[in-house]
Amino acid sequence: MFKKLETALFFSFIAIILFFLLVFALIATPRIRSLAINQISTELGQQMQLEAERFSSLIASRQSTAVIQSASNKTAQLVDSRITVIALDGRVRGDSATPLAQLGELENHLSRPEIKSALKLGQGQSVQHSTTIDQDLIYVAMPLTNQSGQISGFLRFSVPATYANQLVLRIYKSMFWAFVAAIFIAIVLSMVFSRSFARPIVKLVDVANNIAKGYFPQNILHKSKFEVGKLEQAVEDMSIKLAATFEKLSFKRSQLSAILASMSEGVTAVDLNQKLFLVNPAMEKTFTVIEPEILGRTLREGLRNNEIAGLVAQALAEGRFIEREIAIVTPVERTFLALASPIKTQGQIVGVVCVLHDITELRKLERHRSEFAANVSHELKTPLTAIRNYVETLLDGAIDDKKHNMEFLQKIDKHATNLSSLIDDILEVSRLETRKELGQFVKVDLHKLIEGAIETVSNKVKKKNIRLILSCQGTDLLVSGLAEHLYRAILNLLDNAVNYTAEGGKVEITCQKSDQAIALTVADTGFGIPAEHLERIFERFYRVDQARSRELGGTGLGLAIVKHVMNLHNGNVSVESVEGQGSSFTLTFPA
């Protein structure tokens, strides 16, 4: 690149110089010839001044034509010029280029230009073709005066015009060598100037190429003079400003990419042709696609979802915000709230952005709340109805029936106790779900909580003659958590194990600790849980055996509370069960 530009500049400079030299030669040639003629005329005039007095005396003394002719010939030999002596009336009295016998044949010279000029100006000159000697001559003439100052004739000197050509040729030779020297100097200067001019230009081209590639060089330009230096400074300033702008844009783009990548909502954007130009990771995950592979395709082709494509098309056509709830199988069916809004630039719609909010859990929560409200109403209604029936029976006269009144009162007490337990469990579930007023986590020793739970169920254990085995001795069971809720979870599992184990059965509590977790398992030899119920037993108010659960005083919220407690402590609860052989519940805490 540098050599090409330098060569182009070099030959451009040379061409310009040669052009001006040629123009100079064309303009100067006539001028030089004119100067040469003037120079010769001046020299002839000086020679005439020296000979004028002698020829004036010859004419004044009325010498014969032969004498004057002889003097003309002698003088011509001395000055190497043609000498012509002309009388006042225009007759030629002597001419060194014409024989004496032919002088009378010469035309009258009074009308010659040089004679006219000499008569008016004191000296005249002209360049004319001489018919006498058949060649171009340079004529210089002056008047001859007598002693009284009156003009008595004219003296004319002439030389061939080739003298001027010879002088011009000598001048051209001098000019030629001057031109050669000038061209040589011009070549050297052109090389220097082209190199010095091309170097910053090439550097500017390199800088421009780097800017085009995304590199922004700074403080690397050699400051040149004149306008190139200003251009260099302008490019350098532009590079600095572009670098700052590019950095800001990159930072904003990185921020936008980070925001889009961290969003749980799926985001996609299309242009006026509904071709994708943005798909964030959440959207990729939802539709199992990869952004680079689908960019440039239409939304319908890329995401393969007609509902979203229709929503976006409607937003684009109507130019307004549109939202719609849609179901997408990914691979399980999930519910999304799809929002489509036009993208506007300077008041013109240039595309549409679509956002998908996953509301599956929200809809599931709404269903659970609805079911929970229905279940709570049902669960509360059952003991309240029983209590009301017994109260009405007592009010109808049974209160005086000593045989049955105590039985009714005991049943009222039992249902009231169950109702109180149900309300306590409902409040506990609500607190765990909202995580309000739970207190701060502290180090909790699970040994103490297990011992407390065993003591609580000890009467039931003795009554049913159940073997309760604790295999946690020697194990460090410190966890971070809320003692009250952890105790409730352990007690619920242990109480269920005792309640659903037949008389003479066995309940065993075991503990295991590793570097990653602490596991507490409550296993029994009870009735077991059918496999089809295992997935739902941690749901609120879900009972495997409704009658048996109510008979044992269960609220249907025990295992739901256990699950909430473990979620609160970043742990989990799992179950293994074989119908007719027993169940095993395991609480796993992070170590």
| DSSP codes of every residue in 354-374 | EEEEE-HHHHHHHHHHHHHHH
* CA 190 remoteness from chain centre: 42
As a whole number of angstroms, the distance between CA 338 and CA 329 comes to 14
The pairing of beta strand 266-271 with beta strand 276-279: antiparallel
**Residue 492 burial (10 A CB sphere; 0-12, 13-18, 19+):** buried
The helix (H) or strand (E) run that includes residue 342 is: strand 333-345
Which residues have a Cβ under 8 Å from the Cβ of 341 and sit 6 or more positions away?
315, 321, 322, 352, 353
Domain 263-358 classification at class level:
alpha beta
Enter the DSSP assignment of 139. E
As a whole number of angstroms, the distance between CA 304 and CA 308 comes to 9
As a whole number of angstroms, the distance between CA 470 and CA 447 comes to 10
As a whole number of angstroms, the distance between CA 82 and CA 97 comes to 6
Residues of the chain with CATH 3.30.565.10: 442-590
H helices of 213-290, in order, are: 226-262, 281-287
Residues of the chain with CATH 3.30.450.20: 2-168, 263-358
Max Cα–Cα distance, the chain, nearest Å:
201
pLDDT at site 534? 83
pLDDT at site 143? 92
pTM over 0.85: no
For residue 251, the number of C-alpha atoms closer than 13 Å in the C-beta half-sphere is: 6
pLDDT at site 1? 45
CATH of 2-168, one of 3.40.50.1100, 3.30.450.20, 3.40.190.150, 3.40.50.300: 3.30.450.20
pLDDT at site 574? 92
pLDDT tens over the chain, length 591 residues? 445 655 766 677 677 777 777 777 777 666 766 777 777 778 888 888 888 888 888 888 888 888 888 988 998 888 888 898 998 888 988 998 888 888 888 889 888 898 888 888 888 888 887 776 677 888 889 998 888 888 889 998 888 877 767 777 777 777 778 777 877 887 777 777 766 766 777 777 777 777 777 666 666 555 556 666 677 777 777 777 877 887 788 788 788 888 888 888 889 999 999 999 999 988 888 888 888 888 899 989 988 889 999 999 999 999 999 999 988 887 778 889 999 999 998 889 999 999 999 888 888 877 777 766 666 666 677 777 777 777 777 777 777 766 677 777 777 777 777 777 777 767 777 777 766 667 788 999 989 999 999 999 999 999 999 999 998 866 678 888 888 889 989 998 999 899 889 999 999 999 988 888 899 999 999 888 888 888 888 887 777 665 455 555 566 777 888 888 888 889 999 999 988 889 999 999 987
For residue 402, the number of C-alpha atoms closer than 13 Å in the C-beta half-sphere is: 0
Three-point CA angle 407, 408, 410, nearest 5°: 65
Of 331, 275, 276, 349, nearest to 267 by C-alpha is 276
Q: Does domain 442-590 have CATH number 3.40.50.1390?
A: no
pLDDT at site 474? 66
CA distances to 2, 27, 81, 356 from 223, rounded to whole Å, are 18, 41, 67, 56
* 582 strand-pairing partners: 578
Residues of the chain with CATH 1.10.287.130: 363-434
Of 260, 271, 318, 261, nearest to 297 by C-alpha is 271
Phi first, then psi: give them for residue 83, nearest 5 degrees.
Answer: -115, 130
Q: CA 394, 398, 402, 407 torsion: positive or negative? A: negative
As a whole number of angstroms, the distance between CA 496 and CA 203 comes to 85
As a whole number of angstroms, the distance between CA 352 and CA 275 comes to 10
pLDDT at site 2? 43
In the CATH hierarchy, which fold is given to the domain comprising 363-434? Helix Hairpins (1.10.287)
CA distances to 293, 314, 353, 532, 568 from 271, rounded to whole Å, are 17, 14, 9, 50, 45
pLDDT at site 552? 52
As a whole number of angstroms, the distance between CA 106 and CA 108 comes to 7
pLDDT at site 269? 92
The pairing of beta strand 517-524 with beta strand 582-590: antiparallel
pLDDT at site 252? 83
